[in-house]
Amino acid sequence: MYDFDYHKPKSLDDAAKLLSKHDDFKLLAGGMSLIPALKLRLARHAGLVDLGALGALKGIRRDGGALVIGAMTPHAEVAASAEVARSIPALAVLAGGIGDPLVRNRGTMGGSIANADPAADYPAGVLGLGATVVTHRREIAADVFFLGLFETALEPGEIITAVRFPIPDAAAYCKFPQPASRFALAGVFVARTAGGVRVAVTGAGPSVFRFPEAEAALSKRFDPAALDGIALGAGALNSDIHASAEYRAHCVAVMAKRAVLKAREAGAR
């Protein structure tokens, strides 16, 4: 690990000021991705700005037709929240399947989506539900937030404060996890919303993405059978030591049908 300065501001304003003065400072949320990268010297930053003391960035609340989750809320709290279970149970299931107990208790929603790992679970929930990412400067729609591999629409020094999720009519998340890391080899989040059906895929490509063909079919008939014959092309998908692009394409088709079935069951209750 390289040397760095460490700062733990007591307010959001103080954190923003530190970032505005130092272009080479990095935000630290849960640290589940950043700390290992620093330890292995895969990343180097002049300073870290730890958001752990900012209680205002934590918490879960219902706000009319939306569920608002603070950026520094740990995955374990989302998974165990009665409010999440009432409002968007699929999101509680997603959070409960992230990594292991250590990761779920230390990792945060804001840190996860800011990092934009191509195999992370939260990006599928954010994009699948058509959420809004709230920062200390503005609001960013999910459809324009994730830009590519570890790339988002966040500007330098911009801090995520919360994510606002519209309450869907029904939703579900299913993934095929890599056995050791629990990252998604392929994960599919399906949501039936007032604006139509949304299908988001994580783990299969360089970044989370929507599946328009599946959305069109499910908008006509929200049933797993509606996806018969609909498949992703493998050409743009990831291929690595864990799975080939063709295998991931097959997994997406299977996970999508399972997610639709779960969403139908949840919506019928």
Tell me, what CATH number does 235's domain have?
3.30.390.50
Tell me, what CATH number does 6's domain have?
3.30.43.10
Is-contact 73 29, C-beta < 8 A? no
The C-alpha angle 263, 268, 269, rounded to 5 degrees, equals 105
Is-contact 174 96, C-beta < 8 A? no
Say how far apart CA 118 and CA 13 lie, in whole Å.
31
Confirm whether 161 is domain-assigned: no
Confirm whether 207 is domain-assigned: yes
Residue 244 falls in which region: left (phi positive, over 0), alpha (psi -120 to 50) or beta:
beta
**pLDDT values of the chain reduced to their tens digit, one per residue, 269 residues:** 899 999 999 999 999 999 999 989 999 999 999 999 999 999 999 999 999 999 999 999 999 999 999 999 999 999 999 999 999 999 999 999 999 999 999 999 999 999 999 999 999 999 999 999 999 999 999 999 999 999 999 999 999 999 999 999 999 999 999 998 889 999 999 999 989 999 999 999 999 999 999 999 999 999 999 999 998 999 999 999 999 999 999 999 999 999 999 999 886 54
- What three-state secondary structure class fits 31? coil
Confirm whether 260 is domain-assigned: yes
Is-contact 167 144, C-beta < 8 A? no
Confirm whether 258 is domain-assigned: yes
Is-contact 201 252, C-beta < 8 A? yes
Confirm whether 254 is domain-assigned: yes
Give me the sign of the Cα torsion angle 161, 151, 209, 202. negative
Confirm whether 237 is domain-assigned: yes
Query: In total, how many domains does the chain have?
Result: 2
Query: Where does 64-211 have alpha helices with state H?
Result: 75-80, 82-87, 89-96, 101-106, 109-115, 122-128, 142-145
Say how far apart CA 223 and CA 261 lie, in whole Å.
7
Confirm whether 17 is domain-assigned: yes
Confirm whether 125 is domain-assigned: no
pTM above 0.85, yes or no: yes
* 247: containing domain: 170-267
Is-contact 263 170, C-beta < 8 A? yes
Candidates 115, 140, 118, 143; CA nearest to 129 is 143
